[in-house]
Structure 1
Amino acid sequence: MISAFLDTAEVASRLLRSPVLAERWEQPSALAEFRVSGLAGHLARAVFNVERWLAELPPAGGTPIDAVAYFLSGAGPASQLEDAVPRRIREVGEQEAAGGPATLVEEFDAARARLAVQLPTMPLDRPVGVFAQVLPLDQCLLTRLVELVVHLDDLAVSLEAPTPSVSVEATDLVIACLTRMAVVRHGVLPVMRTLARRERATDPIAAF
């Protein structure tokens, strides 16, 4: 898990260093209401937040949950773009990117270098406070790995660049997490049919 997270962060660093990113910094991204700058800042938070959370004392009490339960804990009616949470996500992404593309990637690389030293010294079952939830370290990293992989694609599409490849380990972890989420949301049979029997697939199946 640690190697998959760090390796994927390195892939993200290369995209954040793309000259096209600087050229399109203030343009709209592939995500509605997100500028390229804010999307880049949001992507970078997948690394920044791990370092921030690990700097805090492990939370006392509370039953740790896994990555699937974490993502589904925010499940509910589809958010509108101007709802408080989506709006806050965009605002914070812009705040992370406020120094410009060069500063963002420098801070990103510094954070991932520190994590490359810190993470291997920590037990994977160490409790970590992730917003209002408590997750073991390995599941915390999985949530951020999902964010990295999904938003790598979003940012690459925004730059009209090929989506970077990530390791087989990272791909397997992310696809397994998204599939488990889709099963909880839609049931086993619709997911199975979507993956194996397109002639019987009906509604689109999505994890989020």
Structure 2
Amino acid sequence: MNVRDVYLESAEITTTLVTHPAVARCWDTPSALAKMRVGGLTAHLVSQIIQVGPVLDAPAADELVSLQEHFARSTWIDDGLDSEVHTYIRRTAEAEATAGAPALATAAATALAELRRRLPAEPPDRVIQLPFGPWSLTLDDYLVTRLLELTVHGDDLATSIGVETPAVPPACFDTVVGVLSHLAARRHGQTALLRALSRAE
């Protein structure tokens, strides 16, 4: 199973989660994420599906970077909660949430149906322009960043509405854990990560 198949399967799990009745019922309540309502969190989660089509339509930038370099350049990883980038993410998500739960669930399902058609037809070496950075990634590396978002924020949403976090495909879990381990080592150091993962104390 390649990363495109894994992404499509993971996105289907997300579209199912956002249709849960508790999402609409809790729409205006605080989410598990600070300063974000359930509606805003749902909108941010759904955007990890609906943004992929426009990305496929956009021309690539001149500079292609690796996935590791992409995360090294991404300021959101180390910025505080009230930083410009995180404030922008929350503001955008809350604005998109005004569409309401049913509309966002429909938008996610519609986008996923289109991606089922488009992603398998993309060439193996396809390069895309990021919507939030002046550099490009391969399509497959970009989808890895979306798997991270779908998995982490899927858990955030499930926790926020009081339901069990849906299991993701094993290949998705392995990929996301690999990325999170890399980011944790960057933030806390290799030794701290090694001890957290291996020591029983």
> What is the aligned partner in structure 1 of residue 65 from structure 2?
64
Residues 64, 127 of structure 1: 8 Å contact kept: no
Query: Residues 58 and 126 of structure 1 are in contact (CA less than 8 Å); yes or no, is this contact kept in structure 2?
Result: no
SS at match of 2:51: helix
Deviation at 1:186?
Answer: 3.1
Q: CA deviation at 1:50?
A: 1.3
State the TM-score, normalizing by the size of structure 2.
0.91
State the alpha-carbon separation in 1 of the partners of residues 118 and 174 from structure 2: 24
Identity %: 35
The DSSP-based 3-state class of the residue aligned with 2:54 is helix
Aligned residue pair count? 197
Q: Does 1:102 align with 2:102?
A: yes
Distance 1:81 1:186 in 2: 18
Shift of 1:114: 0.4
Q: Kindly provide the amino acid, as one letter, of the partner of residue 13 in structure 2.
A: V
- 8 Å contact from structure 2 (residues 184, 193) kept in 1: yes
Return the match for 2:153 from 151, 154, 170. 151
- Structure-2 separation of matches of 1:76 and 1:135: 17
CA contact (8 A) 2:76 2:86 kept: no
Q: 2:57 aligns with which of 50, 55, 58?
A: 55
C-alpha offsets along residues 101-132 of structure 1, whole Å, 9 cap, x if unaligned?
Answer: 00001011100110111000112431111121
Q: Is the 8 A contact 1:4 1:170 kept in 2?
A: yes
1:163 to 146, 162, 165: 165
Q: Could you tell me how far 1:185 is from its partner in structure 2?
A: 3.1
Please give the root-mean-square deviation of Cα atoms over the aligned residues, in Å. Answer: 1.7
What is the distance in 2 between the residues matched to 1:2 and 1:194?
A: 31
- Where structure 1 has 5 or more consecutive residues not aligned to the other structure, the ranges are 200-208
Unaligned segments of structure 2, at least 5 residues: none
Q: TM-score, normalised by structure 1?
A: 0.88
Residue 192 (structure 1) aligns with: 194
SS of the residue 2:14 aligns to: helix
Q: CA deviation at 1:94?
A: 1.8
1:73 to partner: Cα distance = 1.4
